[in-house]
Amino acid sequence: MFLLYANACLIKEVRIFIINTMSKEKELSNNFIQKHLEENTVLCPHNNTKFDYFRQFIGEGYRQYKQNSSSAAGLKSLEEFAKEIINVHNIKIKNEKDELKRNYYKQDSYLRKIIKDKCASLISKNDPDHIFTYVNPKDDVRIDRLKEIINGYYKVIEKDTDKDVVKLLTKRILEQMVSGIRLLSVKHYADAFIIWRSLLENVSYFKILLLGGEKTSKKTANLFLNRKEATKKILGLSPSSSKERENITIQNENRNKRKSATWWEKQRFQWAANVLHIKDDLSAKTLQEAVGLDKYYPHYQVASIFTHEHLLTAEDFKVISLIDYLVNLYWRVFDGIRDDIIRLFAINRETVSVITSNEESLRKQLKSSREPFEEFANMIN
């Protein structure tokens, strides 16, 4: 009887031990936190209060992340989650004032905001339908905001089945934003310039197609679509008349002899003449000038340097870093048409409000690079 009682007590104690062990959450060590922090320790020396600050709020954030994420899409460990949070902090704190650098860990709202945004981003990308399912743990926080913004618009617009030319072009612009942001995420800056150069051209087309009344816009859109058919004939992808083939042959010979290839250039831009009424020859530059994008033309020329290889690298840029420069270029150009996109697709206020919160965060994050961007713009203008 005594043995039975003793065994029962032992089993009970083992159960209590197992429950306590399971319920006890794993915590980050001081050494782990210190190892991953990259900050000015002269301004802000490491101490236990700082370590407790990260340990507490990262632990809280990780619990929220686990509760709202799907393990099917891959769940991050506490250490992986913590590394990403600390990395966002490392990037953010570099651009803050010295006062905040000294005392950020005394402000709960500072780290809570970082964790809230990161959790929202990770949980959002846990959705297999998110256009940016790949998460780079070392992503610049601004690129992460861009991903959420573009995903927000993309998810609304991809469902639209209207074959309107402007809507089709909008989808193409969003696809270019996706491609460019993915390249930025993995630091393929030269290729990101090539995409941005094409993006700027398409944004200028987008703006031109919105000009004029309904009748003018429809005619311009038809001319824009005719360009596709003309190109197919040039490439031999669709049948052409003997006269058209003769014209193409003449122009090919002119190019080979370094004469003006006016027919080729005209079919590239002539569709816009209907609404722009420009006397000079139409070109990427004149189209951008006509719709108020001329301030970007010097940047378009910089992008051309990367399109036509000159072996420039990030180390060659001193006034502004390539990542700062490119994030500004992508966001500024897209920001210039966001209102048009909202109107065009009649995006409801509730959906827009979710996207807007990410846009407001991005604008704040870009403030520190505004001055070097303008300085570089003046240099190349």
Q: Tokens for 310, please give them.
A: 């000159």
Residue 314 DSSP symbol: G
Question: In the prediction, which pLDDT does 330 show?
Answer: 98
Question: In this model, does residue 47 exceed pLDDT 90?
Answer: yes
Cβ atoms of 118 and 82 closer than 8 Å: no
Residue 10 has pLDDT above 50, yes or no: no
Task: Tell me the residue range of the domain where 52 lies.
Answer: 25-128
pTM summary value? 0.76
Number of domains in the chain: 3
Are residues 152 and 91 located together in one domain of the fold? Answer: no
Of 128, 158, 185, which residue is a domain's last?
A: 128
Least confident of 98-107, 160-169, 244-253, 282-291: 244-253
Residue 13 lies in a domain: no
**Residue 7 covered by a domain:** no
Same domain, 321 and 365: yes
Q: Are residues 248 and 231 in contact, defined by beta-carbon separation less than 8 angstroms? A: no
Rounded Cα distance, 332 and 371, in Å: 14
Give me the mean pLDDT over the 115-121 stretch.
Answer: 87
pLDDT tens per residue, range 280-318: 778 899 999 999 999 999 999 999 999 888 888 888 898
Q: Note whether residue 99 is domain-resident.
A: yes
Residue ranges of E strands in the chain: none
> Which of 74, 100, 128 is where one domain is finished?
128
Q: Mean pLDDT, to the nearest integer, of 338-343?
A: 95
Statement to judge: residues 106 and 42 lie in one domain: yes
For residues 118 and 43, state if they share a domain.
Answer: yes
The answer on pLDDT for 21 being more than 50 is no
The pLDDT of residue 83: 92
pLDDT of residue 265: 60
Domain co-membership, 80 together with 112: yes
Structure confidence at residue 251 (pLDDT): 66
Residue finishing a domain among 82, 99, 128? 128
Share of the chain above pLDDT 70, in %: 85
The phi and psi torsions of 130 (rounded to 5 degrees) equal -65, 135
Over the stretch 142-153, which tens digit does the pLDDT of each residue have? 999 999 999 999
Element (H, E) at 60: helix 48-68
Cα–Cα distance measured from residue 195 to residue 375, given in angstroms and rounded to the nearest whole number: 23
Task: Kindly tell me if the per-residue pLDDT of 115 is higher than 80.
Answer: yes
**Is 158 a member of any domain?**
yes
The answer, yes or no, to whether residue 17 has pLDDT greater than 50, is no
- Whole-number average pLDDT of the chain: 84
Average pLDDT, integer, range 110-125: 86
Q: Mind listing the pLDDT tens digit for each residue in 169-206?
A: 999 999 999 999 999 999 999 999 999 999 999 999 99
Q: How much is the pLDDT for 309?
A: 84
Report the distance separating Cα 21 and Cα 18, nearest Å. 5
44 and 124 part of one domain: yes
Q: What is the pLDDT of residues 65-87, one digit of tens each?
A: 988 876 655 678 999 999 989 98
Q: Which pLDDT belongs to residue 12?
A: 44
372 or 223, higher pLDDT: 372
pLDDT at 95: 79
Same domain, 207 and 311: yes
Both tokens assigned to 240 = 């052409």
Mean pLDDT of 253-257: 62
Pair 161, 256 in one domain: no
Residues 191 and 329 in one domain: yes
134 inside domain: no
pLDDT of residue 258: 55
Query: What is the pLDDT, as a whole number, of residue 257?
Result: 59
- Domain co-membership, 337 together with 227: no
| Residues across the chain | 381
Same domain? For 352 and 295 the reply is yes
Q: Note whether 42 and 108 are same-domain residues.
A: yes
What pLDDT score does 105 carry?
A: 94
